[in-house]
Every structure is written in C-alpha cells, then in structure tokens.
Structure 1
Amino acid sequence: MPRLQQWAEQGWTAEAGLAFFDSLPAVRPEDMTGEWRGSELPSGHPLDGLLAAYGWYGKRFTDRDRVDPLLFMDSGAVRAVDPARLPLGLALALPRIARTSAAQGLFRLLLPVLATDRPTARLRSMEHRGLISAAMIYDDQPIIDHFRRVDEDRLLGLMDLRPTPAPFFFLLTRTTASGRSAAS
C-alpha cells in the first residue's frame, strides 16, 4: 500500500508525518497555480476529520497574491470562504460541538455569508524545517500552510496554526492549472 494511502486510511503520528514531510522536495509558488482538491491526513490533530465533515473541497492559487485558501462545496458548486469569518478558536475549544450535525448544518446555512470573492491569503517562499519552499500565509488568521512536492500533481501540506502544538496535515491534488485539466 502506498505511503499516502496508508496514512489516509490508518493515520500516522505527527512525528511520522513530519518525517515524511521532511523527506519531500520543495515546491515553488509559481508551480502551484490552479485549483487543488484537498484531503485530510489524520495525525491526532484536533482538526482531524473536521474539514471533510464540513465539505472542504480544497484551495485555489491564482497567483502569488491571489489565493483562496478554503474552498467548500455548496450545492454542487465550489465556493471560496473567508477564513476570518470562521470561528476556528471555538472549534478548537469545543470540538464535540463542532463535530455535531447541528453545527455542520448551521455552517451550510451560513455559507453565503461566509463566502468571499476576494483573495484571503498569499503565497511566498519561506524556510520551514530547514528547506525553503512555498508557503501560504493567511491574511486574517494565525495560520501558515507549508508545502512540499509529492509529485507533479500532488502536494503535501502542513498547516501551522497558532496555538496548536502539532501540525495539521493535508494532501492537495491538482484539478486545474493554467486552464488545463490535470492528468488523472
């Protein structure tokens, strides 16, 4: 079983995830243009499973200064959500409530209010864990997502969220780039 599939199905410790992350090469911000489908990689982080439960789709990188860091499915369409409008601290403080169907239903109802047409993050090259690679810096949240290349159409992401001590891991798979469909 490939390592990423094993991680997705069985979960890894944060230490194992970091070791794998550290083994991967850097990716340049300009190589990330396009839309990417996201999936979570469980590692015992308080957010494990939460994004998927709320319908997280992925991320969109238009250029270095125009990034949609949170895309969600809404009635069959992909919608960008403003991370500043999300009660992330509340979800971390009250994880049982955040995981209820009532909270998820409320999120669905509020999606039009949470949505945005403006970019809410940017891409830069940044050193993290000894390697300079692409990083996505959120405009209004204490979050930096660091990326490493798995292959041409997949990236491993590590979300560094203050104040959580361990990273949250996710995989991005390219769906479009420069107007083309990614190879399957």
Structure 2
Amino acid sequence: MDVLEARARFKELQERDGQVDPCELDQIWAALATVRPEDILGEWKGGEFRTGHPLNGMLAKADWYGKTFAAVHDAKPLICRNAAGELYSNRELGKGEASLWTVEFRGEATATMVYDGQPVLDHFKRVDDTTLMGIMNAKGTPAEGPFYYFFLERAPETPHEGPHAGEGS
C-alpha cells in the first residue's frame, strides 16, 4: 500500500460507523510518514477507531475532546469538556500529563507522547498536514497488540480559559 492509498483508506475507515479491522489499520500505519515532536505542536481534536479494544468508548464517556501539545515537554493527553462545555486537561484520568519524545516503534523513530503517571505511550504518524494517526501502547502489551487506534485532527481555534479551566467540575 502506498501513502496515497493509505490516506484514502484511512479517511474511509475514519468515517465508518462499524467495526474496523486492526490488521487493516496496521497496513495503513506502515505506509504513513513518521513525524517529529516539534511538528505536531498545537491543539488536536480526537476520535477513535472501533476495533473491539477494551478502551473503545471509554474516552467518549469522559467527554474527551482531544490532545494539546503546548510544547515538547508540555503535553496534555486528555483534553475533556466539563459540564459547562469548557475544555480542561483531565489530569485525574490521565494520571498527570505528558511530554513528547522521539521513540522507536515498529522499527521507525516517530513522535510519541509519554504519559507522566502511567506506563502508556501514544505513537503518531502523519496522514496529511492536518491529521495524525495514533497507536496507544502500554507496558505489558505484546508486540502484536491489541493496541488502541485513534486519530487527531488539527483543532480550529478554540476559546477556553487556559489549560486547566473547569477542572473538578
């Protein structure tokens, strides 16, 4: 699969209502380009691929919006909405926040978010200029998975009251 085929198939699977085969997501991942941490700074709106992973649906219950990479050492993995609809960094759910590193995954060095308070890594590859594909990896997960597959799209300018607005609401 070349990168153009991978991008087209990614978009199709992103819009699919039903189950997505993780093997197909792995083929797409293999065709995509790696990214550097500095290249993905900013605010991102997130979504997931429903593969049957135990985490499927859990982030929606927390009203997960996406991720914010303010700086390489200032990453907020779980930007959620509070009851008033304001965005905040859910540090309780994420057991802290995170930072971005270049980490080797499946033989390629790519931007990876390393969580501060739990053994979780989110690896990223570029779909296009405004979309990233992510694979969540955690301590104890075998090399073949199961992994949690998700995507991030550059967020439009979103007004909010700072990185921790509405926490505890």
1:68-110 deviations in Å (ceiling 9; x for gaps) = 111001122111011xx33x8xxxxxxxxxxxxxxxxxxxxxx
Read off the aligned partner of 2:110 and give its amino acid letter.
Answer: S
Counterpart of 1:169 (choices 146, 149, 153) is 149
Counterpart of 1:56 (choices 49, 64, 88) is 64
Q: Which runs of 5+ in 1 are unaligned?
A: 89-113, 178-184
Read off the aligned partner of 2:80 and give its amino acid letter.
Answer: F
Cα deviation, residue 54, structure 1: 2.2
Q: 1:166 aligns to what SS in structure 2?
A: coil
RMSD: 2.0
Farther-moved stretch of structure 1 (12-21 vs 125-134):
12-21
Read off the aligned partner of 1:141 and give its amino acid letter.
Answer: Q
- Aligned residue number for residue 33 of structure 1: 41
Question: Greater share of helix residues, 1 or 2?
Answer: 1
1:19-43 deviations in Å (ceiling 9; x for gaps) = 2111100111001111000001111
- Aligned residue number for residue 130 of structure 1: 107
Compared CA separation, residues 42 and 120, structure 1 to 2 (3 A): same
- In the alignment, is the contact (CA less than 8 A) between 2:9 and 2:28 conserved in 1? no
Distance in structure 1 (CA, Å) of the matches to 2:63 and 2:11:
20
Normalised by the length of structure 1, the TM-score is: 0.72
Distance in structure 2 (CA, Å) of the matches to 1:13 and 1:45:
11
Read off the aligned partner of 2:114 and give its amino acid letter.
Answer: I
Normalised by the length of structure 2, the TM-score is: 0.78
Greater RCO, CA 8 A, separation 6+: 1
Percent identical: 36
Equivalences, count: 144
Read off the aligned partner of 2:133 and give its amino acid letter.
Answer: L
Read off the aligned partner of 1:152 and give its amino acid letter.
Answer: D
